[in-house]
Amino acid sequence: MATGLEIQHKIDFHVVRWIVVLLLLVMAAVFMYFGYRWYMTGEQPPIALPAIASADPGVDESKVSQKMIDSHIVKPYEPRYLSIPKLRVEKTRVMQVGLTREGMLDVPANISDVAWYTKSMTPGTGTGAVLIDGHNGGVARDGVFAQLKTLKKGDEIILERGDGKVLTYAVYDNISMPLEEVNDSGMRRMMYSADPSKEGLNLITCDGKWVPRYQQFDRRIMLRAVAVKK
């Protein structure tokens, strides 16, 4: 009788062990499935996964001091500061960018700055469009354009040039566009004013999901504004 009981105990132990192994394999498969979907599409999993990134970890999120802002100097006719009263964005430094090696519009290094595309128009010329981009956010905090999507038709955006001249623009339209459409035709659209009879100011930032496979977001906020007289 004692021997029989000992054999039964060993059988139960093996059953439990295989159940545990099976559960671990199922959990691993689930993690791999959702991890793969997140990597390929940016889709957030319904279960918590370790080390899930939701923004570009390479963005400089260090603070920009008031002294750094005040000492920012550009040429007289170039954009120096950008302000958006409705979003409480005041005197944000406007840096300068061109294109990356891949032919994409570059972005400012710091999350607290925006950047003027130097091949677009300079403010105050009365024609064409000034093109500026910036970050919507980083890993730890929001960027200057975190709430850009909330601006409505008529909201004001202000540019100050290097010579101190201030120009005001009013939002004309503001849309979220898939990255494929941005690359296909959206960027060409942003090089022109929404109203050919007025100078334009066009702003771009990221939107949608962060897609690790491509190291970028899958949508863009495309805002167009036109100059207004003050």
Give the model confidence (pLDDT) of 140-150 as tens digits: 888 999 999 99
Sign of the CA dihedral with 49 first, then 219, 119, and 80 last: negative
pTM above 0.75, yes or no: yes
Is 57 a domain residue?
Answer: no
Domain of 93: which CATH number? 2.40.260.10
Looking at the structure, do residues 72 and 43 belong to the same domain, yes or no? Answer: no
In the chain, how many domains are there?
2
Is 61 a domain residue?
Answer: no
Please give the Cα distance from 209 to 88 (Å, whole number).
25
Please give the Cα distance from 143 to 138 (Å, whole number).
7
Q: What digits encode the pLDDT tens for the residues 85-108?
A: 999 999 999 999 999 888 889 999
In the chain, which residue ranges form alpha helices assigned H by DSSP?
A: 2-41, 66-70, 179-181, 187-189
CB neighbourhood size of 36 (10 A): 11
* High-pLDDT (> 90) share of the chain, %: 58
Is 58 a domain residue?
Answer: no
Q: What digits encode the pLDDT tens for the residues 126-184?
A: 999 999 999 998 778 889 999 999 999 999 999 999 999 999 999 999 999 998 898 88
Domain of residue 3: give its range. Answer: 1-52
